[in-house]
Structure 1
Amino acid sequence: MADTEAAKRIELVGDDFHDDPHRYYERWRALGPALEVRFTNGASAWVVIGYAEARAALADPHLHKDARGIYEVFRRKFPDAPSDPSSQALNHHMLNSDPPDHTRLRKLVNKAFTPRRVAALRSRIEEITTGLLDEMDRHDVVDLLQEFAIPLPVTVICELLGVPFANRAAFQAWTKILLGAMVSSDEQRVTASQEMARYLQDLVADKRVRPGDDLLSGLVQVGDDGDQLSAGELSSMAFLLLVAGHETTVNLIANGTHSLLRDRAQFEALRADPDAIADAVEEFLRHDGPVGWATLRYTAEPIRIADAEIPADEIVYVALTAANHDPDRYRTPERLDIAADASGHLAFGHGIHFCVGAPLARLEAKVAFSALLQRFPNLRLADPDFTPRWQPSFLIRGMTELPVRLHD
């Protein structure tokens, strides 16, 4: 009887999860703010969905992120799974580390994302935005994702890191596979991680020989206190900054635009009050943020979250989108309200792993929405009955296309 009851507490995550994850979250809330789930491939994990519990979990040092520990947990849980040294090498970055390693790695990149340094990028972001909108203006119908939401942050991060823009198609393809790891095949993941690792290793080696005025070249050099990243750390840091530096902002712009176009009153209200765009961006982040689940954590010893007793050697995810729709924190979470107070949302995480690129993402989004609404006051969905197809990724919450009509 006890075994049967325990089995009932493990919720199946079906293939339709990505179509409407909030349908799952609404059902799960009746089971508590943290619960165990099982994926269609047979793997299981714990997911935190309550706002208060998620905020606490994101800052809890008992939920570890060290990459070596993560792989040990996976090795014990899935002894027959193929080993992928390239993937492991790419993932030894600050997002998958605990103090003191995390403290050291974060210090080396923090200075590149200070509010002052980010603010200095505004004119270039505005220039890129204007050029993209000029090109779009030549058409009546475009895929906003491909023509605007993707190239804006990709161009910015490529220039910031010193990555050739011409290589964007390759690293975006690798990114899609690696971020959809739960649904990508083992062969796809291994191939993508090997190709991306080689690309980044070659890029880092080139920066050593021919440094430029870019962030990656700066990271190759010795830090202020004599600290220096190893070759492996440089490649994994480049992977993190390149992927996180564009993929999240892409979907912040696309998801926010889609939400606005589904609510014409909100669209018109924002056009009439451009000063409200900064607050609207926070609501876009809360309402349909670009990150579904934070990168994984694991337990080294049993821990308790609310009424859930989580054993040692378990994978734990924090569902940011679920936390941001917790009715105990936000009164009408399912409704987009650009005038609402979205403060405290967890779209960028919380604690020591709070997104280092948040100031840049916010600036790009503010510039993007300001220019987009001003240039195209009649912007609307190309098909009023458009239903998005979502990327099959638990980490990234993003559409595969967003066809829009620009003119009457």
Structure 2
Amino acid sequence: MAYERTLDFNSDAFRDEAYRHYAALRQEAAVFLSQPEGQLPIWYVTGAKEVETVLLDPECFARDLSRLGAPLMASSDGEQAIAFLNDHMLNRDAEAHRRLRRLVNKAFTLKAVTAMRPRIEQIAETLLDAVAPDGQMDVVSQYAFPLSITVIAELLGVPAQDRDDFRRWSQVIVQQVGLDVSELQRCYREFAAYMLALIDQRRARPVDDLISALVQVEEEGSMLSRSELCSMIALLIIAGHETSASMIGNAVHALLQHPEALARLRDEPALMPPAVEELLRFDSSVERAMIRFVTRDTELAGQRLQRGQMVMAVLGSANRDEGLCADPDKLDINRPVCPHMAFGKGTHHCLGASLARQELVVALNTLLRRCPGLRLAVDPGALRWRYVPNFRGPQALPVCWLAD
């Protein structure tokens, strides 16, 4: 197969036409082995049915490396910090995952998320107040990222003066590819030290925020350990703003390419919640799920996968599979909601899905109401996608509108 050894999912050439490549991949093989030069082999899963199989079978396709008898061994301070910030439920399966999920769910409640809506609306309005007289902005850096980092930071209880540090740390952690190892380890050390100090503050003096709730949460005598607390908070910060910000960028980009849909949503904001589901399916910010490890020899779509091999479920491709919905490459805001996988599926379904949906609805409705005549301010061919493995979102999205 032409794709097997040469495909670079992170290249500009691929990202610029990702969905055309995914369609070709699904047509050629829903499961294929790729090993670019100098990299470990990975089985890529692009078909919706096959992606669903991987996500719903943690016994065969595990996140936890200890299932293969290979627990993470940290020797240096940097490696210890990395291990400390990876002790969260996304890296656990079975009962270990269920225990962490139950504990976190007791703190990260739908009530707490719903209570954030007025504040999300206020943040969106304030950000647009700052740029409204100019009649132009970069949606990514001036709207999507400030909105999402402020929301998750306030929900957790991170002081406002520290949010720039969190943004810097998360950018390094999600990028990783091409970074110097010492730089990555230094970032993890700084992040871990800060989180541990904040956890100790909340343990001594609890306040009304999510970190305090996580510190205090308990079930049947079980509480989150210091490393579990630290890594869970780090996960919420990173996933809570990186994915939401990219999704806002993707959604605005999609609507700018579909002016009839944009106009209808501007005129009928009540249609936004179901439209958000279609936007999530059409161009998800989580392009690929986290790596799984094959725990036993198995067959998937006619391919023989061996114990210990790595598997990457490509959510972006699955969401455009003809088997998932009719005419999947068309953005149809009237489409009956189909079972997209933008938030994953199964036991590792995104904990923050309700918050992400709420942010997206508010961000889009506020933007369309406040910015009449919204349009792209550059040639569409000039747009580039962020160089962040597993995530998809524009590096920048310059727009303009009819200023007052």
Q: State the TM-score, normalizing by the size of structure 1.
A: 0.91
Please report how far the alpha carbon of residue 115 of structure 1 lies from its aligned counterpart in structure 2 after TM superposition: 3.2
**Distance change (3 Å), C-alpha of 1:71 and 1:378:** farther
**Match of 2:18?**
21
| Selected match of 2:204 from 205, 209, 232 | 209
Structure 2 matches for 1:49-128, cutoff 5 A? Answer: 49-61=46-58, 62-69=60-67, 72=70, 84-128=79-123
8 A contact 2:3–2:34 mirrored in 1: no
Residue 155 (structure 2) pairs with residue 157 (structure 1): no
Q: 3-state DSSP class of the match of 1:248?
A: helix
Q: Percent identity?
A: 37
Please report how far the alpha carbon of residue 32 of structure 1 lies from its aligned counterpart in structure 2 after TM superposition: 1.7
**Match of 1:79?**
none
Please report how far the alpha carbon of residue 210 of structure 1 lies from its aligned counterpart in structure 2 after TM superposition: 2.7
Q: State the TM-score, normalizing by the size of structure 2.
A: 0.91
**Match of 1:291?**
286
Q: What is the identity, as a one-letter code, of the residue corresponding to 1:124?
A: R
In 1: Cα distance, 2:35 partner to 2:69 partner: 19
Q: What is the identity, as a one-letter code, of the residue corresponding to 2:312?
A: Y
Please report how far the alpha carbon of residue 53 of structure 1 lies from its aligned counterpart in structure 2 after TM superposition: 1.1
| Selected match of 2:34 from 11, 32, 37 | 37
Structure 2 matches for 1:6-405, cutoff 5 A? Answer: 9-13=4-8, 15=11, 16-39=13-36, 41-61=38-58, 62-69=60-67, 72=70, 84-385=79-380, 387-405=382-400
The range that moved more, 107-116 or 152-161, is: 107-116
Please report how far the alpha carbon of residue 240 of structure 1 lies from its aligned counterpart in structure 2 after TM superposition: 0.8
Offset from partner CA, 1:349-408 (integer Å, 9 cap, x none): 000111111011111111111111111121111124453221112221122111111326
Please report how far the alpha carbon of residue 347 of structure 1 lies from its aligned counterpart in structure 2 after TM superposition: 0.2
In 2: Cα distance, 1:73 partner to 1:321 partner: 30
8 A contact 1:183–1:393 mirrored in 2: no
In 2: Cα distance, 1:188 partner to 1:319 partner: 29
Alpha-carbon RMSD across the aligned residues, in angstroms, is: 2.3
In 2: Cα distance, 1:376 partner to 1:383 partner: 17
Q: 3-state DSSP class of the match of 2:382?
A: coil
8 A contact 1:157–1:246 mirrored in 2: yes
Please report how far the alpha carbon of residue 255 of structure 1 lies from its aligned counterpart in structure 2 after TM superposition: 0.7
Q: What is the identity, as a one-letter code, of the residue corresponding to 2:273?
A: A
**Distance change (3 Å), C-alpha of 1:146 and 1:9:** closer
**Distance change (3 Å), C-alpha of 1:40 and 1:327:** farther
**Distance change (3 Å), C-alpha of 1:70 and 1:279:** farther
In 1: Cα distance, 2:41 partner to 2:177 partner: 11
In 1: Cα distance, 2:369 partner to 2:309 partner: 49
Q: 3-state DSSP class of the match of 2:94?
A: coil
Please report how far the alpha carbon of residue 335 of structure 1 lies from its aligned counterpart in structure 2 after TM superposition: 2.2
In 2: Cα distance, 1:41 partner to 1:402 partner: 33
The range that moved more, 173-182 or 234-243, is: 173-182
Please report how far the alpha carbon of residue 109 of structure 1 lies from its aligned counterpart in structure 2 after TM superposition: 1.5
Q: 3-state DSSP class of the match of 2:223?
A: coil
Offset from partner CA, 1:127-171 (integer Å, 9 cap, x none): 212211212212222111111111111111101111123222222
8 A contact 1:93–1:237 mirrored in 2: yes
Please report how far the alpha carbon of residue 8 of structure 1 lies from its aligned counterpart in structure 2 after TM superposition: 7.8
Please report how far the alpha carbon of residue 287 of structure 1 lies from its aligned counterpart in structure 2 after TM superposition: 0.7
In 1: Cα distance, 2:126 partner to 2:338 partner: 32
What runs of 5+ residues in structure 2 fail to find an aligned partner?
none
Q: What is the identity, as a one-letter code, of the residue corresponding to 2:329?
A: E
Please report how far the alpha carbon of residue 279 of structure 1 lies from its aligned counterpart in structure 2 after TM superposition: 1.2
